[in-house]
Structure 1
Amino acid sequence: MNHSMNLSSAAIQGMGTALPVHSVSQTDIAELIASSLHDRPDLARFAKRVFKSCGVDTRYTVEPSYLGTLEHCRYLPSTDESDIPTTKERMNTYKQEALPLGIEAAQKALQDANMSPDKITHLITVSCTGQYSPGLDVLLIPQLGLSPRVNRMPLIFHGCAAGLKAIQMARDIVQGAPGSQVLIVCVELCTLHFQPVKERESLFSASLFGDGASACIVGAPQSQDLHYLDLGTGYSVLLPDSTEDMTWEVGNHGYDLYLSPRIPKLLGVHLEEELRQLLQSEELPELWAIHPGGRGIVDAVQNVMNLEDEQTKYSREILRTVGNLSSNTILFVLNAMRAEMAAGQRPSTEGVAMAFGPGLTAELMKFTYVPAFSPAVKEEKDHALL
Structure 2
Amino acid sequence: MNLLNSNSEAAILGIGTALPVHSIAQSDVAQLIASSLQDHPDLARFARRIFKSCGVETRYTCDDSYLGSAEGCRYLLSGDQSSIPTTEERMKKYQQEALPLGLAAAEKALSDAGQSPGDITHLITVSCTGQYLPGLDVMLIRQLGLSPRVNRLPLIFQGCAAGLKAIQMARDVVQGAPGSRVLVVCVELCTLHFQPAKEREALFAASFFGDGASACVIGAPESRHHHYLSLGSGYSVLLPDSTEDMTWEVGNTGYDLYLSPRIPKLLGTHLESELGVLLGNDKLPELWAIHPGGRGIVDSVQNVMNLSDQQTGYSREILRTAGNLSSVTIMFVLQAMRLDMKAQEGALKEGVAMAFGPGLTAELMRFTYVPAYSPSVKEQDHAVL
Determine the structure 1 residue equivalent to 2:131: 131
Determine the structure 2 residue equivalent to 1:351: 351
* Match runs of 1:258-297 below 5 Å: 258-297=258-297
Unaligned runs of 5+ in 1: 1-5, 375-386
**Alpha-carbon separation, structure 1, partners of 2:255 and 2:41:** 26
| Residues 174, 180 of structure 2: 8 Å contact kept | yes
Task: Give 4+ residue runs of structure 1 displaced > 3 Å after superposition.
Answer: none
**Alpha-carbon separation, structure 2, partners of 1:351 and 1:229:** 9
**Alpha-carbon separation, structure 2, partners of 1:84 and 1:293:** 27
**Alpha-carbon separation, structure 2, partners of 1:268 and 1:71:** 41
**Alpha-carbon separation, structure 2, partners of 1:83 and 1:284:** 52
Residue 7 of structure 1 and its aligned partner are, at CA, apart by: 7.7
Determine the structure 1 residue equivalent to 2:247: 247
**Alpha-carbon separation, structure 2, partners of 1:60 and 1:144:** 25
Determine the structure 1 residue equivalent to 2:319: 319
Determine the structure 1 residue equivalent to 2:45: 45
**Alpha-carbon separation, structure 2, partners of 1:373 and 1:179:** 17
Q: What secondary structure, in the 3-state scheme, does the structure 2 residue paired with 1:167 have? A: helix
Letter in 1 for 2:50: V
**Alpha-carbon separation, structure 2, partners of 1:368 and 1:118:** 27
Residue 70 of structure 1 and its aligned partner are, at CA, apart by: 1.1
Task: Write out per-residue CA displacement over residues 264-287 of structure 1, whole angstroms, 9 at most, x where no aligned residue.
Answer: 000000000000110000000000
**Alpha-carbon separation, structure 2, partners of 1:223 and 1:113:** 12
Determine the structure 2 residue equivalent to 1:183: 183
Determine the structure 2 residue equivalent to 1:331: 331
**Alpha-carbon separation, structure 2, partners of 1:204 and 1:222:** 45
Residue 222 of structure 1 and its aligned partner are, at CA, apart by: 2.8
The count of residues paired between Structure 1 and Structure 2 equals: 369
Q: What secondary structure, in the 3-state scheme, does the structure 1 residue paired with 2:372 have? A: coil
**Alpha-carbon separation, structure 1, partners of 2:222 and 2:215:** 18
* Match runs of 1:210-225 below 5 Å: 210-225=210-225
**Alpha-carbon separation, structure 2, partners of 1:205 and 1:55:** 13
Q: What secondary structure, in the 3-state scheme, does the structure 2 residue paired with 1:371 have? A: strand
Residue 145 of structure 1 and its aligned partner are, at CA, apart by: 1.0
Identical-pair percentage: 77
Q: What secondary structure, in the 3-state scheme, does the structure 2 residue paired with 1:359 have? A: coil
| Residues 221, 373 of structure 2: 8 Å contact kept | no
Unaligned runs of 5+ in 2: 1-5, 375-385
Letter in 1 for 2:331: L
Determine the structure 2 residue equivalent to 1:115: 115
Determine the structure 1 residue equivalent to 2:152: 152
Determine the structure 2 residue equivalent to 1:383: none
Determine the structure 2 residue equivalent to 1:28: 28
**Alpha-carbon separation, structure 2, partners of 1:267 and 1:80:** 40
**Alpha-carbon separation, structure 1, partners of 2:91 and 2:142:** 22
Residue 373 of structure 1 and its aligned partner are, at CA, apart by: 6.0
Task: Write out per-residue CA displacement over residues 221-244 of structure 1, whole angstroms, 9 at most, x where no aligned residue.
Answer: 134342100000000000000000
TM-score for the superposition, normalised by structure 1 = 0.94
Determine the structure 2 residue equivalent to 1:105: 105
| Residues 223, 373 of structure 2: 8 Å contact kept | no
**Alpha-carbon separation, structure 2, partners of 1:67 and 1:97:** 17
Determine the structure 1 residue equivalent to 2:256: 256
**Alpha-carbon separation, structure 2, partners of 1:222 and 1:243:** 42
| Residues 61, 189 of structure 1: 8 Å contact kept | yes
Task: Write out per-residue CA displacement over residues 110-149 of structure 1, whole angstroms, 9 at most, x where no aligned residue.
Answer: 0000101101000000000000011000000011110000
Residue 372 of structure 1 and its aligned partner are, at CA, apart by: 2.5
Deviates more, 1:335-344 or 1:220-229: 220-229
Determine the structure 2 residue equivalent to 1:12: 12
Determine the structure 2 residue equivalent to 1:206: 206
Letter in 2 for 1:226: H
**Alpha-carbon separation, structure 1, partners of 2:152 and 2:223:** 26
Letter in 2 for 1:27: S
Q: What secondary structure, in the 3-state scheme, does the structure 1 residue paired with 2:82 have? A: coil
**Alpha-carbon separation, structure 1, partners of 2:265 and 2:213:** 29
Task: Write out per-residue CA displacement over residues 12-56 of structure 1, whole angstroms, 9 at most, x where no aligned residue.
Answer: 000000000000110001001101110111110011000000000
**Alpha-carbon separation, structure 1, partners of 2:137 and 2:295:** 32
Deviates more, 1:162-171 or 1:223-232: 223-232
**Alpha-carbon separation, structure 2, partners of 1:102 and 1:7:** 32
Letter in 1 for 2:303: N
| Residues 267, 301 of structure 2: 8 Å contact kept | yes
Deviates more, 1:292-301 or 1:218-227: 218-227
TM-score for the superposition, normalised by structure 2 = 0.95
Aligned-pair Cα RMSD in Å: 1.1
| Residues 7, 178 of structure 1: 8 Å contact kept | no
Q: What secondary structure, in the 3-state scheme, does the structure 2 residue paired with 1:227 have? A: strand
* Match runs of 1:298-317 below 5 Å: 298-317=298-317
